[in-house]
Amino acid sequence: MQFSDSIFVAGHRGLVGAALVRGLRAAGFTNLLLRTSAELDLREQAAVRQFFATERPKYVFLAAAKVGGIWANQTSPADFIRDNLQIQTNVIDAAYRSGVQKLLFLGSSCIYPKFAAQPIREESLLSGSLEPTNEFYAIAKIAGLKMCAAYRRQYGFDAISAMPTNLYGPGDNFNPETSHVIPALLRKFHAAKMHGEKAVVVWGTGAPRREFLHVDDLASACLHLMQNYSAEGCVNVGCGEDLSILELAGLVADVTEFGGRIVFDDSRPDGTPRKLLDTSLLDSLGWAPSIPLRQGLEETYRWYAEHAGSS
């Protein structure tokens, strides 16, 4: 990519999209095409085709998606599969039709089987059953990366796919009904500290293990892949280390300076027992993360306390 090339960041107001914009601008890219969902509804095929025909971006980062935690996925499965299928189908097809030089599609580690061998290699895709609590979202994401592969195979379209692990960072979604585990825990522990509560209840047993990557590290990896990778297979993006939810809760309690007890509600779902990505392919391409988990949690907590932490 040249610094003056037109680059469309789909979903630039989301956690990942905002990080991509930060990363691109910091690297010196100046010609960014950005549209809010009110300005361009990516679920509407005609609108998407018109945008691409008019603006003709040279590169596309497809970070737009409907995302959420276990509760959101369980209660709104139709929204997750419909919206994501519409968004990615419209953007990938319109990008190819309008002559985009290269597109990067962002998937999710939840595409892998629930009981995949750990750490999870890219080849594990479709080798077993999905985690039921987010299978509708996962199926949509699998369709997206397969669409990229199909357009590459049939049309020679340079579409690549990155599969990030669990993400977090400033600007995350802290809504208690739709957030992922790190923002949910930061919000809970902060509120408990502010209200003088003696205990915080955490969903599940605390036993599942998760890997977490700061969203600015993901943005860095995406820029690296856009300029150094071109193949049909997806690429795992992670840090190569995981920890239990129990350990994470303790770390969040420490970061938020909550001094009470942590209680685990084992009547609530745990989700997949473990999700640790094998990042050998990305390692071989010369990229590595730079933000340790505790540093990232402190930064994210500062952002939350400044922007939305009054309750």
- Phi first, then psi, for residue 69 (nearest 5°) are -85, -165
Beta carbons within 8 Å of 5's beta carbon, 6+ residues apart: 29, 31, 58, 59
Q: Please, are residues 287 and 223 in contact by the beta-carbon 8 Å criterion?
A: no
Using CA atoms, how far residue 22 sits from 6, 17, 110, 218, in Å, is 16, 9, 26, 12
Q: How far apart are CA 163 and CA 199, in angstroms?
A: 36
Q: Please, are residues 144 and 38 in contact by the beta-carbon 8 Å criterion?
A: no
Q: Which of 96, 112, 137, 151 is catalytic?
A: 137
Can 304 be counted among the known catalytic residues? no
Q: Please, are residues 1 and 29 in contact by the beta-carbon 8 Å criterion?
A: yes
Catalytic residues: 137
